[in-house]
Copies of this chain bind each other. A is one copy, B any other.
Amino acid sequence: MTEPLFDKVAIVGLGLIGSSLARGIKKHGLATTVTGFDGSADVRARSRDLGFCDSIAETVDEAVTGAQLVILAVPVGAMAAAAQSVAPHLADGAIVTDVGSVKAAVVRQVADALPDHAAFVPGHPVAGTEHSGPEAVFADLFDGRWCVVTPCARSTDASVKKVVALWTALGSTVETMTPEHHDIVLAITSHIPHLIAYNIVGTAADLEDVTQSEVIKFSAGAFRDFTRIAASDPVMWRDVFLNNKEAVLEVLGRFSEDLAALQRMIRWDDGQSLQGHFARTRAIRRSIIDAGQDTADADFGRPHGHDD
């Protein structure tokens, strides 16, 4: 237990990330009080039962009033509305942060909505599973993971320091970069992989000659890894693609070009080029294991001990 960083923290949006944040903040004693709010009455009721916040507010007013830190943990497409709803209730000197997977669009949408007496520090914890909703909560979701903080014109030095301190206390390593750079890095490491996974699962379902039962039976040969990714929250991902359009289309164009080159090697029996391409990717895998972002074991280095 450390000295609390904040007196009151308000979390708006109680999905996987919001609820795991609440639990992590309580576990590490980073706030005196954590108040949660969600636009859905059903999620509020379930969150009350799960008990991961000190209290679940019935209105956003009640949640935000008096909070020194307000965390927006809603899908990227709901970020503007969330910022507008918290704005009138923000205390003097309050810090607003978010956890959206896209940063430039969020900065545009949120910064304008906030009053001058509040600071905004955009953030993105690079963590998550394919599970969504408050039942998926676990306090250690951010432990040993990276968090990107992308200061903008509405961030002050002091507010950035406080948000970095929060993520560090939750066990994350914080990297600072511009919102635009964040968006291209995440396009290749996360957004395009998700789009491709969603796509191949759809292609499989549409094959006339192969039954769904066959796809399922023989999924051990890599397909199941794609289905796991393609089980992620549809609304969250719709919003990511619509709000990171430029970077996604750029990286997708390169991906398709590269895939056409591989396709051509197969059509023209160019085994040497194929093998050369495949051998090159092994080195990258090794670097990821060495960097501690995964293990060589077949469990992908994911945390196993959920505490719910």
Contacts and interface: CB of A to CB of B under 8 A. Distances in A.
A224 B293 contact: yes
Q: How many copies does the complex hold?
A: 2
A212 B258 contact: no
Nearest to A181: B209
A142 B207 CA distance: 27
A30 to B, nearest CB: 22
Given A284-B204, A298-B303, A298-B304, A278 B218 contact: no
Best-surrounded residue of A126, A189, A223 (most CB of chain B within 10 A) = A189
B229 A210 contact: no
Interface in A175-217: 175, 181, 184-186, 188-190, 192-207, 209-210, 212, 214-217
A197 B219 contact: no
Contact of A128 (B221, B229, B294, B299): B221
29 contacts: A145-B220, A175-B217, A184-B209, A188-B207, A189-B215, A189-B219, A190-B222, A190-B223, A193-B226, A198-B281, A203-B251, A205-B281, A207-B251, A212-B284, A216-B288, A227-B284, A230-B284, A231-B282, A231-B285, A234-B279, A235-B275, A245-B266, A245-B269, A249-B267, A252-B259, A252-B266, A256-B256, A256-B260, A298-B302
Given A219-B293, A252-B259, 4 more contacts: A77-B271, A145-B220, A225-B225, A231-B286
